[in-house]
Chain A
């Protein structure tokens, strides 16, 4: 079993739709959680951190459930520019240092 798993996708949605991505992680020692987006042939870019209380940034809402080891990302009113791969990232700090573990990613295509 992979340490971080995500919805396999791809998700093809019309403009204006609401779409939700799910992510689970297996290591209970994980300490911090993020969503990154990656455009084709580009580097991953931080979309938002994910906090236990839930957090919102414009059209994006992230939730974390530590008990279930589950992370979600909700995108409202999808735009064409939201088309990308969304990567769930978990950081587990160890004796050796920070270790950011990436999920396999979920590809989103927003269609006109």
Chain B
């Protein structure tokens, strides 16, 4: 069972809605990630937070807004999404140390459908 918890598991929203995806981990990890995964494709990195600071933003449209309120929580705020944004959104965490053997642990994801 994953120690990274994501809510909700499923979300259907209209293009004018505002919603948020939530992610929580209690492993003491200091790096947290958002990935987007379309069907039959690998996960694509969206954002990385390291020690609660946004360290990587992979040119994600501004309709996706990440937030890291503390070291255990990661949110993804959604506004004015398009149908092509429908995908599985995965949160992940890693230790965030300088070690080279960091491992990535995923939550079970939020399956998002934009109508």
Chain A interface residues toward B at CB < 8 A:
31-32, 34, 41-46, 49, 87, 89, 91, 93, 96-105
Contact = CB atoms under 8 A, between A and B. Distances in A.
B58 to A, nearest CB: 9
A32 B104 contact: no
B105 interface: yes
B42 A43 contact: no
B104 A97 contact: no
- Residue of A34, A98, A105 ringed by the most chain B CB atoms within 10 A: A98
Interface size class of B (residues with CB under 8 A): 20 to 34
Interface in B43-90: 43-45, 48, 50, 55-56, 88, 90
Given A31-B100, A34-B103, A100-B104, A44 B48 contact: no
A49 B55 contact: no
A87 B101 CA distance: 17
A46 B102 contact: no
A31 B2 CA distance: 25
